[in-house]
Amino acid sequence: MSHPTSLMQQRPVYVIGIGMHPYQFPSETPYPQLGLRAVREALADAGLAWPQVQSAFVGTAALGMAAGRVMLRHLGSTGLEVAQVENASASGSTAFRLACLQVASGERDVVLALGVDKFGDGRRAVLKDGLPPLSPTANVPLVKFALLARRAMREGGLRIEDLAAVAVKNHGNASRNPYAQFRKPRTIEQVLNSPRIAGDLTAMQCCPRGEGAAAAIVVSESAMRELGLDRSRAVRVLSSVASSEELQQDAPALVELVRKSSAQALDQAGIGPRELDIVELHDAFTIEELLYSEAIGVCETGEGATFLARGGSQIGGQCAVNPSGGLIGMGHPLGPTGIGQVAEITRQLRGEAGDRQHPGARLALAHMIGLGSVAVAHVLSRG
Amino acid sequence: MNANSSTDGRPLALQAARCGNCHGYSYPANVPGCRHCGASPEAIDTIDCMGAVPLRNVVTVYAPLAPGLAVPAIIGEVELCPGLIEEVRIDAEDEHAVPPGTPVRPVWIDDEHGGGWVFRAATTAAASVKGDVR
């Protein structure tokens, strides 16, 4: 069996255009309006016309069958390839990965990755597998993370204030992000006094339900040259990795999944975790950011909380973690979330993130988890 | 009638699956393959899990996060069989009554959703049987 080929061994792939529909609470807005706004913004950002896009991968977890073509026809029926991608929370990340692989392989030169979602009924295939769980919460991520947080508090000395500090940082970052669902800074007291949901997790430590859209257009070197695109604003995708959970005896399987997938992505990109300037990760619940920061290696194991407390993960710190506001602050509409991470990273690496700009951002990791569990990771660099 | 069911259809024992190939455990007993080695159902046996096991972790769930979940609910983790950690419902006054390490035992409870297994502190399981519990 041949060894997997990394992105660096294929044609270079660049993000040339990004666009967003702000994440928002569930509304009556039809999904094409969300998605088309993001696509039009990405086209304008790239300096491309719709007929120049050769294929589109549409990530969505809740819209249902064939959302992509129904929406994209309003941009013109150009005959492009359209495929819908569902991978739970990692739907957008997977759409982005497929777009990158298509350009890297040489099959296409200009590919759109679009994530779009409305808040759906939350029905999951695992509820139809004919295997009743012992607890009705067995497939509810929030409860798993509440249990994980409790374990970290009992065994690792984590305090509830340490969990709340993640929400304070990310709500603060989101307050400076015009695409974020939450736009108010919060205090430790506000976070801790919000309604308890499960264990030590309060409402402000959990991502909201919502909707929105995010788009990224990736291109080849030759497309940039032949179409006269602005190379100075291009962000290179150095690696793309996807994997799923393995059974673990000791460490939490999900944390191990993050550790292995991020290590693989960084290895393929040829960099170490301490070289990262930006990490966008799956902080659906506060405990995740602390554990995943350690697993990715931006800080030592067991030091996630102190890393945050001393400013290491703040904008302007060693490595800005979730400068967008993350899933807790910016929102987590599922399909768009992973591409929203890429959009934020692209903005940061270009130096276009305004008052939430991380100074000198050069290397970044987008890391996403999906129900199941699956992981998708991308490393991006300036220029 | 299932061999693990009483005449009224209620299960006689909480069961898990044990793989004859790799000896790994899976839940529930009717899994379509071993989650460790992928062996087919023909290679899988069922085993009873009615003994007391230590509660590994526990939290209270305050929001109705799943259909059929009456809140507040106490949810815990137990190692049902070696290497098989499952999330379970805990039947206790509150989570402080069942700190991690408490031996707990499965008890079947009938309810409007068709019934299910809950875990109770092993020392009180026998004494707390009510009319709807077996």
User: pLDDT, tens digit, for every residue of B34-93?
Assistant: 999 999 999 999 999 999 999 999 999 999 998 888 999 999 999 999 999 999 999 999
Average pLDDT value for residue range A227-235: 97
Give percent of chain A above pLDDT 90: 90
Res B129 pLDDT > 50: no
Of B35, B63, B68, the CB nearest to A136: B68
- Beta strand segments in chain A, E: 13-24, 55-59, 81-85, 110-117, 196-198, 201-202, 211-220, 235-244, 278-280, 320-321, 363-370, 374-382
**Angle between the N-to-C axes of helices A160-174 and A286-296, in degrees from 0 to 180, rounded to the nearest 10:** 90
| Residue A250: predicted pLDDT | 67
What is the rounded CA–CA span in Å between residue A69 and residue A72? 5
Average pLDDT value for residue range A244-256: 83
Angle at Cα B11 formed by Cα B6 and Cα B16, nearest 5°? 140
| Residue A128: predicted pLDDT | 79
Average pLDDT value for residue range A139-168: 96
Of A135, A142, A195, the CB nearest to B88: A135
| Residue keyed to tokens 């660049």 | A14
Give the A:B interface size as CB pairs under 8 Å. 82
- Residue A1's pLDDT band (boundaries 50, 70, 90)? low
Q: How far is the alpha carbon of B4 from chain A, nearest alpha carbon, in Å?
A: 16
Q: How far is the alpha carbon of B93 from chain A, nearest alpha carbon, in Å?
A: 16
Backbone dihedral region for residue A62 (phi beyond 0: left; psi -120 to 50: alpha; all else: beta): alpha
- Residue B7's pLDDT band (boundaries 50, 70, 90)? low
Q: Are A218 and A353 in contact (CB under 8 A)?
A: no
Res A217 pLDDT > 90: yes
Average pLDDT value for residue range A12-29: 97
What is the rounded CA–CA span in Å between residue B86 and residue A253? 13
Q: Which residue has the higher pLDDT, A126 or A142?
A: A142
Which residue on chain A is closest to B64 by alpha carbon? A197
Question: Rg of the Cα trace of chain A?
Answer: 19
| Residue B2: predicted pLDDT | 53
Average pLDDT value for residue range A27-37: 97
Answer yes or no: do B62 and A130 touch at CB < 8 A.
no
Average pLDDT value for residue range A287-312: 97
| Residue A372: predicted pLDDT | 83
| Residue A130: predicted pLDDT | 83
Q: What is the mean pLDDT of chain B?
A: 88
| Residue B127: predicted pLDDT | 38
What is the rounded CA–CA span in Å between residue B128 and residue B41? 37
The predicted-structure confidence for A65-109, as pLDDT tens digits, reads as follows 999 999 999 999 999 999 999 999 999 999 999 999 999 999 999
The predicted-structure confidence for A100-118, as pLDDT tens digits, reads as follows 999 999 999 999 999 999 9
What is the rounded CA–CA span in Å between residue A200 and residue B61? 9
Q: How far is the alpha carbon of A224 from chain B, nearest alpha carbon, in Å?
A: 47
| Residue B126: predicted pLDDT | 43
Res B132 pLDDT > 50: no
| Bridge partner residues of A74 (DSSP) | none
Q: What is the CA A269 to chain-centroid distance, rounded?
A: 18
Answer yes or no: do B62 and A197 touch at CB < 8 A.
yes
What is the rounded CA–CA span in Å between residue A7 and residue A4? 10
Of B58, B68, B87, the CB nearest to A134: B87
Q: What is the mean pLDDT of chain A?
A: 95
Of B27, B87, B117, the CB nearest to A137: B87
| Residue A123: predicted pLDDT | 73
Answer yes or no: do A198 and B68 touch at CB < 8 A.
no
What is the rounded CA–CA span in Å between residue A247 and residue A306? 29
Average pLDDT value for residue range A263-268: 97
Contacts of A372 in chain B (CB under 8 A): none
Contacts of A247 in chain B (CB under 8 A): 35-36, 83
Contacts of B75 in chain A (CB under 8 A): 135, 137, 143, 147, 198
Angle at Cα A290 formed by Cα A162 and Cα A18, nearest 5°? 120
Answer yes or no: do B59 and A199 touch at CB < 8 A.
yes
What is the rounded CA–CA span in Å between residue A97 and residue A108? 14
| Residue A108: predicted pLDDT | 98
Compute CA distances B7 → B4, B11, B14, whole Å: 10, 9, 16
Sequence-ordered alpha helix ranges (H) in A178-220: 188-193
Torsional sign, CA A199, A204, A210, A216? negative
Answer yes or no: do A138 and B87 touch at CB < 8 A.
yes
What is the rounded CA–CA span in Å between residue B133 and residue B113? 14
Give percent of chain B above pLDDT 90: 74
Answer yes or no: do A144 and B88 touch at CB < 8 A.
no
| Residue keyed to tokens 């029905």 | A123
Given the DSSP bridges, would you call strands B73-81 and B53-61 parallel, antiparallel or unpaired? antiparallel
Average pLDDT value for residue range A326-336: 97
Lowest model confidence (mean pLDDT) among A247-251, A350-354, B48-52:
A247-251
Res A122 pLDDT > 70: no
What is the rounded CA–CA span in Å between residue A75 and residue A36? 8
What is the rounded CA–CA span in Å between residue A106 and residue A102? 7
Given the DSSP bridges, would you call strands B44-48 and B25-26 parallel, antiparallel or unpaired? unpaired
Torsional sign, CA B117, B100, A372, A26? positive
| Residue A264: predicted pLDDT | 97
Q: Are B41 and B32 in contact (CB under 8 A)?
A: yes
Res B104 pLDDT > 60: yes
Average pLDDT value for residue range A119-123: 75
| Residue A45: predicted pLDDT | 98
Res B121 pLDDT > 90: yes
- Residue B3's pLDDT band (boundaries 50, 70, 90)? low
Interface residue ranges in chain B relative to chain A, Cβ cutoff 8 Å: 27-28, 30-31, 35-36, 57-63, 65-69, 73, 75, 77, 80, 83, 86-89, 100, 116-117
Compute CA distances A170 → A279, A282, A328, A377, whole Å: 13, 12, 7, 20
Answer yes or no: do B75 and A147 touch at CB < 8 A.
yes
